[in-house]
Structure 1
Amino acid sequence: MMLLPRPARQQLPIRAVRLHREYEGTNVRIGLSAYGLAAPDIIALSRDAEAAGFDSVWIGEHVLAPQRYKSSHPQAAAAVRHHTTGHAHASVRLVDPLSALAAAGAVTHRITLATGVYVAPLRHPLQIARSACTVAEVTGNRLILGLGAGWLVEEFAALNAPFEARFRCLRDGTGIIREALGGGWISRTTGEYRFEPVQITDSSTSVPLILGGNSDRALRRAASLGDGWLSSGTPTLAEAVGLRDRLDSETARHDRSTPFRTWFRMPGADTDELRRWIDAGFDDIVIWADVVWPSTDPHRSEILAEHARRLGIGMTGGSVSR
């Protein structure tokens, strides 16, 4: 039976994780971030993550792997370290995140399914809205659509996408996606995308839109256009505090009807490190999946469950006030 979308406006899903001992009663949500996994592994990871009590699964993307490229990943400028390379080499398994998450939704019931991030300027925003609407419908509105500008020049060139205009495309595209998912006819006569009145859906589909990127420009863009933000790479705790402070400053400039949520990728899965992040006030934390779920290990499900027990993860309901 198809699950129909709820009419609620862009309210981010809340599924809290309770930590034991001194953090009993503290609502902290822990997700898993994956890149380079084959689609069947993403499905298996999502099922195991839900069973173990994790809050979300995040899938990054590249559409293709150029044979040669000179592009530099922006991680150096962002002052972060990637746990795994964000590059698109021939040996890296690439998937379409929305297709993989739709499949993951078929074997799960609760866990949030998120793109982290989807390179929006590589496609027309109406196409993205169409795909996101479908995934939201078949997963019971568990999709979070994380969007980014992209960085791989050769990828844009191969797809005949406008690299130099990617930030404008992300800005305009985010607005189009949001309006299209809101239901009804939309059109554009100015900006990067222009089209006569069209309709993606006749009713509102709840898909929160969050943006990535650690630069000042990216933080301003997320605060003004998004429902939330995901860190790029793996910042240290000190860097994460700085990013959060900058985001707080930016979001304070805008009137918001719903909370602005931020997700940070934490290095490793150490319980003491996790406590330091919680003490610093972070309640949406993402761990790299391969740290706790080795995809080639036949006991990966049990390994993940043991990590969940060690971290003190258990399910509870409710919402979070930052």
Structure 2
Amino acid sequence: MKWTLAVAMNPVDQIVELARIAEECGFHQVALPDSIFYSEKVSAKYPYTPDGSRMWTPETPWVDPLTAATAMGAVTSRIRFCTQVLKLGSRQPLPLARQVGSVAALTRNRFTLGVGLGWSPEEFEWCGVPYARRGARADEFLDVLQLVLGGGMVEYHGEFYDFDQLQMSPAPSEPVPIFVGGHTEAGLRRAARYDGWTSAMIKLDDLREVVNRLRQLHAENGRSEEPFEIQAVCVDSFGLDGYRLQAEAGVTDVIVMPWMFDGIGFDGPLAAKEDSMRRFAEQVMSRMDG
């Protein structure tokens, strides 16, 4: 089991130090969230809460995840960083390829790109990208990213993206893993073509169904013998027994925020969060790994 620390919605002046402490505690990775702006009104419901409401406010801090990964990489040497998830819908593939390649270089290949389509029509439109046909556009987007990050002189001629020969240097010296989020059938099919799937908030029974479907899709793609990560935010299975149940369900990477188990909120003091992380590492992580 891999252990990933979530830092979503925590104060910006804490997150770099949280990454350093996470490395000391033995965490495998830090998960970095993505939100470009808070629109006063949205024309779609947030898909991962029962009533469709957002869990954050206009004042909730969201530092750019790629910038955060670079800052965290400068004070650590082992721990990895992943976006969980970076929204493709409000971005363009060539500028993003340049950013991802830079993060991979500056962190010495300690970066995983977790992506999702995005859910807010306003975020698409106000960033200059149509909301319609977002799934087909994302498929081409990912094709372009892999092509450019693979290095060398490349060109691409698709329906949404089109360019002649170009090269970005330096290319990552190792492939950047790509995890894809989404709980829909289309999202699962997309994820099965890459290196892993990452969940939003999900219950254990639903998680079991998703993992079984991903295994089917992975096999249909002729990739059943290839590694495939299941990264989960399971909301009803905690503690040693709960994490063992997640592992039995096929989860390979658990995302946690230990201080929340101790009643410490997002805005809690850094020292209290550190105590929670160290206690979680001793009482849960070491016993699971052992």
Question: Could you tell me the TM-score, scaled by structure 1's length?
Answer: 0.80
Match of 1:190 in 2: 158
C-alpha distance in 1, partners of 2:54/2:108? 30
**Cα pair 2:230 2:250 within 8 Å, conserved:** no
**Who is 1:253 aligned against?**
220
Aligned to 1:14: none
**Which residue number in structure 1 is paired with residue 180 of structure 2?**
211
1:5 aligns with none
Matched, 1:242 2:209: yes
The alpha-carbon deviation at position 122 of structure 1 amounts to: 1.2
RMSD over equivalenced CA pairs, Å = 2.4
Kindly indicate whether the alpha-carbon contact (under 8 Å) linking 1:38 and 1:95 is maintained by their aligned counterparts in 2: no
SS in 2 for 1:57: strand
Match in the other structure for 2:132: 164
- 1:154 maps to which residue? 122
Does residue 1:60 correspond to 2:28, yes or no? no
Q: Does 1:285 align with 2:254?
A: yes
The reply to whether residue 300 of structure 1 matches residue 268 of structure 2 is no
User: Which residues in structure 2 correspond to 1:121-140 (within 5 Å)?
Assistant: 121-140=89-108
- For 2:3, the equivalent position in structure 1 comes to 30
- CA shift, 1:157, in A, is 2.2
Kindly indicate whether the alpha-carbon contact (under 8 Å) linking 1:212 and 1:231 is maintained by their aligned counterparts in 2.
yes
Distance 2:254 2:33 in 1: 16
How many angstroms apart in 2 are the aligned matches of 1:315 and 1:135?
31
- Unpaired runs of 5+ in structure 1? 1-27, 317-322
Aligned-residue offset at 1:167: 1.3
Q: Which secondary structure state, in structure 2, belongs to the residue aligned with residue 313 of structure 1?
A: helix
Residues of 2 paired with 1:202 and 1:110: CA distance? 21
1:39 aligns with 2:12: yes
Is the Cα contact below 8 Å between 1:113 and 1:143 reproduced in 2?
yes
**Other-structure match for 1:25:** none
Superposed CA deviations along residues 246-293 of structure 1, whole A, max 9, x for unmatched, are: 000100011337412111112274233123223444332222455257
CA distance in 2: counterparts of 1:228 and 1:239, whole angstroms = 17
Deviation, 1:169, is 1.9
Match of 1:51 among 12, 24, 32: 24
- Contact 1:64–1:88 (8 Å) recurs in 2: no
Q: Is the 8 A contact 1:120 1:128 kept in 2?
A: no
Indicate the residue corresponding to 1:72 in structure 2.
Answer: 45
User: Residue 238 of structure 1: CA displacement?
Assistant: 1.3
Relative to 1, partners in 2 of residues 1:315 and 1:74: Cα closer, same or farther, differing over 3 Å?
A: closer
Deviation for aligned residue 1:209: 1.1
User: Does structure 1 conserve the Cα–Cα contact (< 8 Å) formed by 2:104 and 2:110?
Assistant: yes
Q: Say which of 144, 149, 167 aligns to 1:199.
A: 167
The residue identity in structure 2 corresponding to 1:242 is E
From 139, 143, 153, give the equivalent of 1:175.
143
- SS of corresponding position for 1:187: strand
Distance 1:86 1:109, change over 3 A: farther
1:150-183 C-alpha deviation (Å, 9 max, x unpaired) = 0111112221221113212211010110111100
One-letter amino acid matched to 1:305:
R
User: Larger % of helix: which?
Assistant: 2
**Matching of residue 113 in structure 1 with residue 81 in structure 2:** yes
Q: Answer yes or no: is the 8 Å Cα contact 1:141–1:207 preserved in 2.
A: yes
Letter of the 1:98 partner, please give it.
L
Structure 1 CA distance, aligned partners of 2:170 and 2:100?
A: 15
Q: Which residue of 2 aligns with 1:13?
A: none
Percent identity between matched residues is 28
Higher relative contact order (CA 8 A, sep 6+): 1
Q: 1:311 aligns with which of 275, 278, 284?
A: 284
Structure 1 residues 36 and 312, CA gap change in structure 2 (3 angstroms): closer
Relative to the length of structure 2, the TM-score reads 0.89
1:101 aligns with 2:69: yes
Q: How many residues align?
A: 282
Offset, 1:229: 0.9
Deviations 1:172-216 (A, max 9, x none): 010110111100122222221111221122545421111100111
**Superposed displacement of residue 33, structure 1:** 2.2
Match of 1:145 in 2: 113
